[in-house]
Structure 1
């Protein structure tokens, strides 16, 4: 679906933002792209959509180079950016103008999602709150039916009920065979939604594993219940909960926030466990 190969990027007169980034995103998955603020998540998404060009390396969607920004490539992706401006139109007129750019666009799904979000087609977009505008974009992005959907900090501006609606809508999208990449630093908002985690730190990919692989090989719980040598990361602010080698313990639910902190603080330890098991060592 989407392939990134040895990407390097830096802004003019600035330090490197992305260094030797190689990733593969496949259909039927929801990816969580995590990282601290300023770690290049938004930059990476702009490269994925052809809005920025890497200094070296390449980005391909369905085998086509995004740097060429071909019509067929752009028809297969949609980006919901973190910051955006929408035209001063009604929601219904916005749909009529922009939906023809996406051949698989589903008007039925768009207006169904508007109803779910308690928005009316006759409402003027300019009069909506930031959170409501974001709902319009999310609904439109879902309705495009593109193979690739990218969302940059999609839960920013959404209240708690709206975040629940968002997770419900995203979960339904997996059945459509799409590849969805959600970039955020708010790890908790994606709990029980994503099935693959990618983490950026210091310009590089420090973690790239499916949650099934994580749950098979790592154990999340109280550090006191495991042998000291099994502990990979622990944090007192979580009530001494820790990330550990699973060994012969029963499978536990993946704690995304603990996993994120563990990947940043002990990347070699986490990777050694996952790689050894993955390669059958």
Structure 2
């Protein structure tokens, strides 16, 4: 679906990506994780063709992102963290922008809006919506767009707790085998049971790009009273130390995304070597 090779990108003298490589397969909901300033938003803009690198290539379904061809744009929907909604009614927006996407489904759009408790026939101008309503409106539109690639940057920012649950439900409903969604987020708890595989971006490189099945088969998490010298990662909490070690039992365990992220950033090379034994 998405193939990035030897990508170099900088802002002025600040090098952000250096020979970055990434392969994203069709039919998955990817979680793109990284520290603030790691380049998650920039990477989504590169994939969408909104930013051009110094060197390297980025292709979506074998079409270069940087050419911004109509066949490329009509099959990709990108929702940035900061966005703008014009002073249009919902019906006007649907007519104006829905026509840009050949597979846009108006019935599903209205269904998703209702799920988000937004009346698709209201006369209120979209620019007068609250931040949360605007975010839900554009999420519903993107899910109904019918594009094979959706790029969502911090999609749960501005959503209240019920809306976050609705978001997870609608994303699951809108998924199919020929669709790919990349969710960039730092609020991992909001999407923990939704994303798989996990991509971790750090220091200009993709540290990790693996499925949760592979992760849980190779890593084991326990809570112990004392630190373990064999641990790949440990952190102290109220009940002792949360310890991440190699999974030697052969049984698939479970690791939460916050612990996984901290483990990969702290011990990336060790994890890569461990995972590569079975690939």
Normalising by the smaller structure, the TM-score range is over 0.9
Question: What residue number does 1:234 align with?
Answer: 234
Aligned partner of residue 3 in structure 1, secondary structure: strand
| Structure 1 vs Structure 2 CA RMSD | 1.7
Residues 113-124 of structure 1 aligned to structure 2 (within 5 Å): 113-121=112-120, 122=122, 123-124=124-125
User: C-alpha offsets along residues 38-76 of structure 1, whole Å, 9 cap, x if unaligned?
Assistant: 110000000101100111000101111111110001111
- Where in structure 1 are there 5+ consecutive unaligned residues? none
Change in 2 beyond 3 A, CA 1:238/1:46: farther
Query: Which segment drifts farther, 248-257 or 110-119?
Result: 248-257
- Is 2:256 the partner of 1:264? no
Following superposition, the deviation at residue 176 of structure 1 comes to 5.0
Which whole-Å CA distance do the structure 1 matches of 2:172 and 2:8 have between them?
A: 32
Contact 1:198 1:208 in 2 (8 A): yes
Residues 218-233 of structure 1 aligned to structure 2 (within 5 Å): 218-223=219-224, 228-229=229-230, 231-233=231-233
Change in 2 beyond 3 A, CA 1:238/1:204: farther
Question: What residue number does 2:32 align with?
Answer: 33
Contact 2:227 2:234 in 1 (8 A): no
Query: Which segment drifts farther, 167-176 or 209-218?
Result: 167-176
Structure-1-length-normalised TM-score: 0.94
Which whole-Å CA distance do the structure 2 matches of 1:228 and 1:17 have between them?
A: 34
Question: What residue number does 2:54 align with?
Answer: 55
Contact 1:219 1:249 in 2 (8 A): no
Question: What residue number does 1:128 align with?
Answer: 129
Contact 1:106 1:143 in 2 (8 A): yes
For these two proteins, the number of residue pairs brought into alignment is 276
Contact 1:7 1:54 in 2 (8 A): yes
Change in 2 beyond 3 A, CA 1:22/1:96: same
Residues 186-197 of structure 1 aligned to structure 2 (within 5 Å): 186-197=187-198
Change in 2 beyond 3 A, CA 1:220/1:113: same
Which whole-Å CA distance do the structure 1 matches of 2:148 and 2:238 have between them?
A: 38
Aligned partner of residue 50 in structure 2, secondary structure: coil
Structure ranking higher in helix proportion: 1
Question: What residue number does 2:252 align with?
Answer: 251
Following superposition, the deviation at residue 27 of structure 1 comes to 1.4
